[in-house]
Structure 1
Amino acid sequence: MRLLVTGAAGFLGREVVRLAGHDVVPTYHRAAVAGGVRMDVRDRGEVADVLRRVRPDGIIHAAFRQSDWETTADGAAHLAVAARGARLVFVSTDVVFGGGDQPYDEDAAPCPVTPYGAAKAAAETTIRAVDPSAVIARTSIIVGSDGTSASERLVHALASGQSGALFAGNIRCPVHVSDLAAALLELLESDHTGTAHVAGPDAVSRLDLGRLIAARDGLDPDTLPFVPGRPSDVRLDSRKTQKLLTTRLRPVAEFLKNPA
């Protein structure tokens, strides 16, 4: 299968490309990627042109920009239209939900409370309409082992005295970037259609996640500044999707204790 990966310069995209191995075409917008093709997903004509030239059998769409509706919502629409005939896996997010008392399963209706969540929810709606056979893979906070994820960088910045704080009231289900990338590649090769939840099995607060990262990296967890924040319990129930996968989505305490 010839695979096209959007957002290949990003944290998740790089890992998908690494695990995919041969016959993968990375695309990027600003930061060039070795062997990659430049593609601005906001430009419908450019997206169509790249897909005509590459002719991928499968696409993992990981490109997004939190503050840009055109990139996150319109870009997904442009790709879905141009990708007809190719197997499409779209990486979505837990923040299509606003938070509640119970975990959200794959059948839960989006209820975003942020512009980014609304953009991803709009993208999901468009992809379902254009390509019902596509996979919409919702995930949560993505963490790695080398300090390059946003959460890891924030913890190190706070530990060095930079301004900011962790939110004690924001509950999420972190996932390791390698687990997520492997799961996306599995879903691509599967016959699954529709929504999949691909997050870790355990829920922690942003504060507790930060403390786990700090402990792993030899920092003092008790020095991390935090604020209560607005209570926001956004847990993804990934048990249904996990049964489809051979890739094990590890609990956050496990992969931060044993990062390999």
Structure 2
Amino acid sequence: MRVLVVGGSGFLGREVCRQGVAAGWPVVGTCHSGDVPVPGVEVRRLDVTDRSAVVHLVAEVRPDAVVATSYRYGDWAVTADGAAHVAHAAARVGARLVHISSDALHAGRPEAYADDDPPTPIFPYGAAKAAAETAVRGIDPTAVLVRTSLILGEGSKQIQLCRDALAGRATLFTDERRCPIDVGDLAAAVLELVDSDVAGPLNVAGPDAVSRAELGLLVARREGIDPVGLKITTGAAAGVVRPTEVRLDSSRAADLLRIRLRGVSELFA
């Protein structure tokens, strides 16, 4: 199984590359300006906003599967247009496509979101992710769209944000609840989906819903940091428009996949 990881220099992309190589698969990882520090990975430079460059690279690599992890917060061309370019190029060579989406495309509500709940974005990044899904589904109905949540692990931006808040350099919201997932668990799930025929949206997130503030307290406890300096507030008080409570019901993924999706109660035990 020859796998092309678009966005291989990113946090999730690197872990997908690492696990793919460990499984004995030939892996090609793309990067734009960084690097893919994973031994055994063939590295290619790629700007996903350049449609012809994406088509040329995919045609040259001829992968059996493409894992699309690239995005850039606040950049429509990368997040939405780039996803469409990758889907188009993958379809041209008949490659299996696993597209990484996000819970950010939901507005937030008390009830958990099912796999097939339609997007209800309320801020630009969520709208870009929703547009990316629409494009991918239109181009390749057989692609699987992995809707995930906050990705944890060493090197995670989410963990660093918690450390910054504990040091007084950032603020965590008490009214934003998510279902965090470990990067290793998510990468393993992605590689299982590469070798499957699952299609359409699929929630792949942890079973525990926690607020960002609660996540900060968990980081403090694990790392032995006094949480007295933790800066917290609400999104409303901060004047930001972002989804509040977004819980993904990942029960279908739990039934389909061999990998067990651990919650924060295990990750921070």
Same fold (TM over 0.5): yes
Partner of 2:27: 24
- Return structure 1 stretches of 4+ with deviation > 6 angstroms: none
1:204 aligns with 2:213: no
Residues 154-203 of structure 1 deviation map (CA, whole Å, 9 limit, x = unaligned): 122233332x2100000100000000000011111111111110000010
1:215-234 → structure 2 map (5 Å cutoff):
215-230=221-236, 232-234=244-246
Equivalent-residue separation in structure 2 for 1:155 and 1:202 (angstroms): 18
The answer as to whether partners of 1:212 and 1:221 remain within 8 angstroms in 2 is no
3-state DSSP of counterpart to 1:232: coil
The answer as to whether partners of 1:212 and 1:253 remain within 8 angstroms in 2 is no
Where in structure 1 are there 5+ consecutive unaligned residues? none
1:37 aligns with 2:40: no
Equivalent-residue separation in structure 2 for 1:121 and 1:66 (angstroms): 13
Which stretch of structure 1 is more off in the superposition, 228-237 or 186-195? 228-237
Which of 55, 67, 74 does residue 60 from structure 1 map onto?
A: 67
3-state DSSP of counterpart to 1:90: strand
The answer as to whether partners of 1:7 and 1:27 remain within 8 angstroms in 2 is yes
Aligned-pair Cα RMSD in Å: 1.1
1:1-260 → structure 2 map (5 Å cutoff):
1-21=1-21, 22-33=25-36, 35-84=42-91, 85-144=94-153, 146=154, 148-162=155-169, 164-230=170-236, 232-257=244-269
Equivalent-residue separation in structure 2 for 1:41 and 1:229 (angstroms): 32
Aligned AA (2:201): T
Equivalent-residue separation in structure 1 for 2:235 and 2:127 (angstroms): 21
Q: Percent identity, aligned pairs only?
A: 50
Question: What is the CA distance between 1:101 and its match in structure 2?
Answer: 1.8
Where in structure 2 are there 5+ consecutive unaligned residues? 237-242
Residues 28-87 of structure 1 deviation map (CA, whole Å, 9 limit, x = unaligned): 011022531001000001001100110000011000001100000000001111111000
Structure-2-length-normalised TM-score: 0.92
3-state DSSP of counterpart to 1:25: strand
Equivalent-residue separation in structure 2 for 1:256 and 1:190 (angstroms): 31
Which stretch of structure 1 is more off in the superposition, 224-233 or 196-205? 224-233
